[in-house]
Amino acid sequence: MVGIATPEAAQPDLSGLEPGRSAIPDVALVLTVNSRVRELTIEPRVTLLDALRDRLHLTGTKKGCDHGQCGACTVLIDGRRVLACLTLAVACEGKNVTTIEGIAEPGSLHPLQRAFIEHDALQCGFCTSGQILSAIGCIGEGHTQSDTELREFMSGNLCRCAAYPNIIRAIWQVVAEQTVAGDASV
Ligand code: FES
Ligand code: FES
């Protein structure tokens, strides 16, 4: 019969380990964030959100709940919106990560940034970067066939200041601008 390790034998030797560190060795990681290649050495358990905020100092992506419930940490990976708090940084190697810091052109805000300002679509602003990145994804996915659909597909992004009506107006403005311009991308 194959021996089964006792609980004692299965325990790794954690003596000498820094408090708060895991016993798993760090890994080298290359991320492409806002078109810039960034090299990191991190624990494999680090989320994309913590890698962005704490290692790369891109603090525009916010940590609200850290549990996938508020949408404040929304970023784009290869153009699709994801929750950075539920995504491991190591899973993003070889992919393009876009954060709020990467959407404006030099000297010119992204249309959604401009529309949010014009429609006063924020109060405290904590949810705003997530709202804007999610709106970029939502428009790209084509979920703008109706007001109901847009609201449904933006419903993962919570706003404690309840700026929802103005957020939706801002998004519709950009959709309308694109329609006039015949542009499907934002
Ligand atoms: S911080 Fe990621 S969903 Fe709330
Ligand atoms: S503007 Fe304050 S949480 Fe949305």
Q: Which atom of ligand 1 is nearest to the CA of 69?
A: 3
Q: Is the pLDDT of residue 1 over 70?
A: no
The pLDDT of residue 183 is 65
The pLDDT of residue 23 is 72
| Pocket flag, ligand 2, residue 142 (CB < 6 Å) | no
Average pLDDT in the 112-124 region? 98
Burial of 131 (0-12, 13-18, 19+ CB in 10 A): buried
The pLDDT of residue 2 is 45
Average pLDDT in the 128-151 region? 97
CA pair distance 111, 180, nearest whole angstrom = 14
The pLDDT of residue 182 is 78
CA of 135 from ligand 2 middle (Å) equals 15
Full set of structural domains in the chain with CATH: 24-102 (3.10.20.30), 111-180 (1.10.150.120)
Which ligand lies nearest the alpha carbon of 132? Answer: 2
Q: At what angle do helices 164-181 and 111-118 cross, to 10 degrees?
A: 130
Residue 116 φ/ψ, nearest 5 degrees: -60, -40
17-60: per-residue pLDDT in tens? 666 666 789 999 999 999 999 999 999 999 999 999 999 999 99
Lowest pLDDT segment from 3-17, 94-108, 165-179: 3-17
CA pair distance 156, 69, nearest whole angstrom = 7
Counting residues of the chain whose pLDDT is more than 70, the rounded percentage is: 86
Return the sign of the alpha-carbon dihedral for residues 155, 156, 160, 164: negative
| Pocket flag, ligand 1, residue 69 (CB < 6 Å) | yes
Q: Is the pLDDT of residue 141 over 50?
A: yes
Q: Is the pLDDT of residue 3 over 80?
A: no
Select the more confidently predicted residue: 18 or 87. Answer: 87
Lowest pLDDT segment from 12-16, 48-52, 99-103: 12-16
CA pair distance 155, 150, nearest whole angstrom = 8
Q: Is the pLDDT of residue 79 over 60?
A: yes
SS3 14: coil
Tokens 């804007």 -> residue: 132
List the one residue out of 95, 80, 84 whose CA is nearest residue 143: 80
The pLDDT of residue 148 is 98
State the SS3 of 23-56: CCCCEEEEEEECCEEEEEEECCCCEHHHHHHHHC
Which ligand lies nearest the alpha carbon of 53? Answer: 1
Retrieve residue 97's tokens.
């990560």
CA of 182 from ligand 2 middle (Å) equals 31
